[in-house]
Structure 1
Amino acid sequence: MATPSDEMNTKLTWRRFEDGENKWDSFTDKIFNEDTSHKCPTYVHKTPPCQGSCPSGEDIRGWLAVVRGQEKPVGDMAMGEYAFRRSTEANPFPSMMGRVCPAPCQDGCNRNEVEDFVGINAVEQWIGDNALSNGYKFEVGPTSGKKVAIIGGGPAGMAAAYQLRRKGHASTVFESQAELGGMMRYGIPNYRIPRDKLAGEIQRILDMGDIDVRTNTRVGKDVTVEELEKDFDAILWAVGCWTGRGLPVAGWENTPNCVSGVAFLKAFNEGRMKVTASKVVCVGGGDTSIDVVSVARRLGHIEQTNPTDRPELVVNDGFVAHDTAVTAAAQGAEVTLTSLFPKSNMTAAEHEVHDALHEGVTILDEVMPVEVILGDDGRATGLKIAQCQMVDGRPTPVEGTEQVLEADLIVSAIGQGGDLGGLEVLDNGRGLINADSFYQVPDREKHFVAGDIIRPHLLTTAIGQASVASDSIDEYLQHKEHKKRPKVDVHHFDLDKKLEEAGLAPDHFDAIERGDMRGTSSGNWAVHNYEDRSFAEVIPHDELFLGHFAYTPRIARKEEVPSADDVLGHFHERLIGLDETQAAEEAKRCMSCGMCFECDNCVIFCPQDAVYRVNKKEATTGRYVATDYARCIGCHICSDVCPTGYIKMGLGE
């Protein structure tokens, strides 16, 4: 969680040392005594916690360095295009994820120890929107002749199609709905995900070529598993979770005006549901429940003289739709959200909870549903709730605290499950599909899986799983053993690749041809005094010199959040993105944890002039400074003043 705003100006938390360790040792002692350690600086690359927290595994520090202007594009490529290409190595949806990802990267950001996290989502949105505005396309090569069936055209399925095509493999995407996008299209409202930008990011993937699409096609019904096994070299199951869990209370089952959050949002996003009920109660606490109540406030209700206008008929039927004309008579809806947990502990993003309250939603926290109250006609008239407490990890109602919330529509947004009708051979008994550590379906050759159907989670999680599954499929198609995944399994900065990109790759080294190995440190056969631990370690804040960083407020995106009086019919996009200048300034707040960001502290403070800048013609990201070990005495001042924790006194151990 970010530092509260009222503490940002008064309670900086950058102290490097614990109490009692706040004084520098004598520089004289360092210079004349510390050299007995025989340790000199090594430049050690580690993974920053933003990347370690990102389920997609994006090289966040890398593309922030590009946007801030520190890492330069090669040739005449524009900064925005270079940032786009770096960010989409992991995630082909920067415009979408910059808007709706709940940003665990920002929770993990070490900048929280200074004042406030870096606005990673905001910069990513700028990268994505700028790429769409400029028409940037993905670059691809020839295909391998192999073809993969991808079942599901949501974030996991489309991310897999993208990653597989980058590896040279063609695919066919089977989608049961009329359009691609999955939960990005059918589960998230358009004022959070603009449909033109979603369409643009999907089309950019299809424009790579050799990606066929079959919509309105349900595998298990229209196409059999056996046909897929016969016609394709591999199969990826990315079917998502389209069934919502009902409330586990008396009166819920078979009550017509009790619906799931998934079905409610799908009916709205398909354009079929134009109005909702007069009194809506939603049970949840996560992002889906926030979307439900926010949509309900925007839709409002009409005085229903015609029973066919009831919203549950539109939600449950799948074919019935409201006439657009009914919206003209819409009035505000009374909307209540109930949550087991306090508002501060709800799983929904904090700003989403704040926005819902501003829009006029009533949130009752630390309560649980007890019973659906039914009328004589079998429809729900209310939901009985009670205050709750956790007993042995389970919510338990507090006796004597019951109350009834009047309701014309009750929505359950407490979780989702899979619909594996026709695919029972894959069902693990819980409506989901099992996966091993390589995202292969156990004991089923050529079958792989990614996304919510493994376990419902975030969009970014599905995209990250698709990337790993694509690696596994690529290895399978090439008849290779699966490589052991690294401990920190993300898209890492690759110094060798960067040197090659800049035309600075080390010379070829042949040990037999070289003969005598002594004195090779002066040659250009390797990257000297550099160690890559990014695959094994995430760098914590206490390895940084946080005193280097001054208080710099975050450049927050503006939001157009309607008030309770203005929310009815308000479907404009809420987020107002940063412009290029703002994005660059916000990116400069990144502390570049675990990677040199060229501050010159080590060069300035070295008492022996042992640390020096690499010649500009030979320098690149990660190779800005080097050490003359003939001069270094091991005083470790350079390590003490390194803001990013990139310098470690390890050489000589």
Structure 2
Amino acid sequence: MAISDNRLSEEGYKSNFKDIHPPFENYTAAAVEANRCIFCYDAPCMKSCPTSIDVPKFIKQISTENIKGSAHTIFSSNIMGGGCSKVCPVEKLCEGACVYNLLEEEPIQIARLQRYSTEKAIKEKWPLFTRKPSTGKKVAVVGAGPAGLSCAHVLAREGVDVTIFEKEQRGGGLMTYGIAAYKVTPEFCQEEVDYILSLGGIEIEYGRTLGEDVHLHELEEEFDATFLGIGVGLTRTLGIPGEELQGVADAINFIYEIRTKPFNKIPVGNKVAVIGMGMTAIDAATQAKRLGAEEVTLIYRRTQEEMPCTEKELNIAKLDGCKIIWLASPKEIIGLGGKVSGVVCDIMALNPASAGQRKLPEPTGETIQLDVDMIIKATGQLPFEKLVNQNEFFNNNGRLIVDDQNETSIASIFAGGDCVNGGKEVVDAVQAGKDAAAGILNYLNIKPLPTEPLIINPLKL
């Protein structure tokens, strides 16, 4: 059975793509977990959060039934705290830093508690922020992903009028188009975007692509400042024979299809090889299996010790029945009738590298061959180098270079997120948007006023 769609029943798809991290069913369950927290002074969980959410405070607010206050605490630091509670690798961030780990106890379920508060706020459309009077300043934001939305929300709260230019037909960026469907649904992503926009002062123009129907010189003329949150581009090529064969897919495009079409309309191979071991590779592999692939094999040129994904993510793939081949690198893709029929891999060995560097994988001279009918490339993404160079930005191999205010080499144009750091977590992009907004406000000579405390009745909310 070659690449095909509609492999499973409707119930099969529903079961395979249900929420992998179910929320607390009621307040009592959330309160029991919240009351486990010992509310550390100088809390390590807060320090490990890129957006510096006051974790002990929002958990304490949950324990006292102040759910609106809890949501306000989260959103004040991370306006995409709802989505981040579903997709963040918390095992290496807040929950990984929880002091209970030192006591050989289960860490506080920070992500589920954060999800509890934020989902209620988004679902019930709580107006937790008030926009300040308009300053008359206008800022363009290119990209409605986490960095762009975060930047826009901070600016709008301070009275700046923001127009976001987004190439897709929905906002959310990676959250909407690049995350496994069993982690967060496109419907939730839309609700989160709508909640962010409900503040006022932010408009999104969809189907507008930088370099095609939106140009920097036009934005410079019309707006007082511009923020670029354009992310990164396509997956790196393997650069090996056979890469052009039918059945070789880009992981980003594969996941994009899953996010934008019904599950039964997504073609998948019977025997699939996924090249890479980052979070995108795991998402591609597990979803291929859940779409009905009989066999999925992850191929990685280093060992488990060097893998980019977390152990928790790796365990998801293992539980789904995905196989793993360590110390192997694709050498040639074999075809039959123009279609993928197998892949030949070099067996690799790690040679000691100089101090401070990763061990370098090198071919041993031995090879293995796998019979597969589909290959998914998840080998990292490249910056938009051509676009960056066309506009004469200072850059590092396509990654925009910014100063301590997040301003690029072109005055009034700021940048942040994956287009600067090369690709990190959603929560890092949110913080980058906040940092850039602070730089833009300084550039516009707008002094942010202290945020007024949220005064609410904490009971029964």
| TM-score band w.r.t. shorter chain | 0.7 to 0.9
Instruction: Tell me, yes or no, if structure 1 residue 411 matches structure 2 residue 376.
Output: yes
1:57 counterpart (52, 60, 74): 52
Instruction: Tell me, yes or no, if structure 1 residue 288 matches structure 2 residue 280.
Output: yes
Uncovered stretches (5+) of structure 2, i.e. residues with no partner: 1-39, 354-358
Which residue of 1 is the match for residue 327 of structure 2? 367
Residues 330-373 of structure 1 show CA distances to partners (whole Å, capped at 9, x for unaligned) of: xx432111223444653323232222222221122x22214123
Using the alignment, how far apart are the partners of 1:218 and 1:238 within structure 2?
12
What does 1:547-562 correspond to in 2, within 5 Å?
A: none
Using the alignment, how far apart are the partners of 2:197 and 2:385 within structure 1?
27
2:416 counterpart (442, 450, 454): 450
2:341 counterpart (360, 381, 388): 381
Confirm or deny: 8 A CA contact 1:340 1:368 kept in the other structure: yes
What does 1:221-236 correspond to in 2, within 5 Å?
A: 221-236=212-227
Confirm or deny: 8 A CA contact 1:373 1:380 kept in the other structure: yes
Confirm or deny: 8 A CA contact 2:341 2:371 kept in the other structure: yes
Confirm or deny: 8 A CA contact 1:383 1:406 kept in the other structure: yes
Percent identity reads 26
Structure 1 residue 138: deviation in Å? 3.7
What does 1:484-523 correspond to in 2, within 5 Å?
A: none
2:291 counterpart (299, 313, 319): 299
Structure 1 residue 256: deviation in Å? 4.0
Residues 299-358 of structure 1 show CA distances to partners (whole Å, capped at 9, x for unaligned) of: 23xxxxxxxxxxxxxxxxxxxxxxxxxxxxxxx432111223444653323232222222
Equivalent residue of 2:82, what SS?
A: helix
Q: TM-score, normalised by structure 2?
A: 0.81
Uncovered stretches (5+) of structure 1, i.e. residues with no partner: 1-44, 70-77, 301-331, 484-495, 503-579, 582-653
Which residue of 2 is the match for residue 639 of structure 1? none
Using the alignment, how far apart are the partners of 1:201 and 1:95 within structure 2?
7
Amino acid across the alignment from 2:381: Q
Using the alignment, how far apart are the partners of 2:112 and 2:348 within structure 1?
37
User: Runs of at least 4 residues of structure 1 off by over 6 A?
Assistant: none
The alpha-carbon distance between structure 1 residues 421 and 212, as it changes in their structure 2 partners (threshold 3 A), is: farther
Residues 582-612 of structure 1 show CA distances to partners (whole Å, capped at 9, x for unaligned) of: xxxxxxxxxxxxxxxxxxxxxxxxxxxxxxx
Amino acid across the alignment from 2:383: G
Confirm or deny: 8 A CA contact 2:143 2:166 kept in the other structure: yes
The alpha-carbon distance between structure 1 residues 61 and 176, as it changes in their structure 2 partners (threshold 3 A), is: same
Equivalent residue of 1:355, what SS?
A: helix
Confirm or deny: 8 A CA contact 2:186 2:259 kept in the other structure: no
Instruction: Tell me, yes or no, if structure 1 residue 355 matches structure 2 residue 322.
Output: no
Q: Aligned pair count?
A: 402
Equivalent residue of 1:245, what SS?
A: coil
Residues 128-162 of structure 1 show CA distances to partners (whole Å, capped at 9, x for unaligned) of: 22222332124222221111100001111111111
Which residue of 1 is the match for residue 295 of structure 2? 334
Equivalent residue of 2:399, what SS?
A: coil
Residues 472-511 of structure 1 show CA distances to partners (whole Å, capped at 9, x for unaligned) of: 111111178xx9xxxxxxxxxxxx989x889xxxxxxxxx
What does 1:161-310 correspond to in 2, within 5 Å?
A: 161-248=152-239, 250-251=240-241, 253-271=243-261, 274-300=266-292
1:89 counterpart (76, 89, 95): 76
Structure 1 residue 60: deviation in Å? 1.7
Structure 1 residue 376: deviation in Å? 5.2
Using the alignment, how far apart are the partners of 2:313 and 2:377 within structure 1?
18
Equivalent residue of 1:243, what SS?
A: coil
Which residue of 1 is the match for residue 365 of structure 2? 399
Confirm or deny: 8 A CA contact 1:242 1:262 kept in the other structure: no
Confirm or deny: 8 A CA contact 2:269 2:373 kept in the other structure: yes
Confirm or deny: 8 A CA contact 2:95 2:109 kept in the other structure: yes
Q: TM-score, normalised by structure 1?
A: 0.58
Residues 253-293 of structure 1 show CA distances to partners (whole Å, capped at 9, x for unaligned) of: 53443222112111221217522112210011111111101
Amino acid across the alignment from 1:63: F
Confirm or deny: 8 A CA contact 1:283 1:411 kept in the other structure: yes
Equivalent residue of 2:126, what SS?
A: coil
Using the alignment, how far apart are the partners of 1:469 and 1:296 within structure 2?
37
What does 1:19-98 correspond to in 2, within 5 Å?
A: 47-69=42-64, 79-98=66-85
Using the alignment, how far apart are the partners of 1:342 and 1:395 within structure 2?
9
- Using CA pairs under 8 Å that are at least 6 residues apart, name the structure with larger relative contact order, 1 or 2: 1
Structure 1 residue 438: deviation in Å? 2.2
Which residue of 2 is the match for residue 99 of structure 1? 86
Structure 1 residue 437: deviation in Å? 2.5
Confirm or deny: 8 A CA contact 1:246 1:259 kept in the other structure: no
Confirm or deny: 8 A CA contact 2:386 2:398 kept in the other structure: no
Confirm or deny: 8 A CA contact 1:240 1:452 kept in the other structure: yes
Using the alignment, how far apart are the partners of 2:371 and 2:290 within structure 1?
20
Confirm or deny: 8 A CA contact 1:372 1:380 kept in the other structure: no
Confirm or deny: 8 A CA contact 1:152 1:176 kept in the other structure: yes
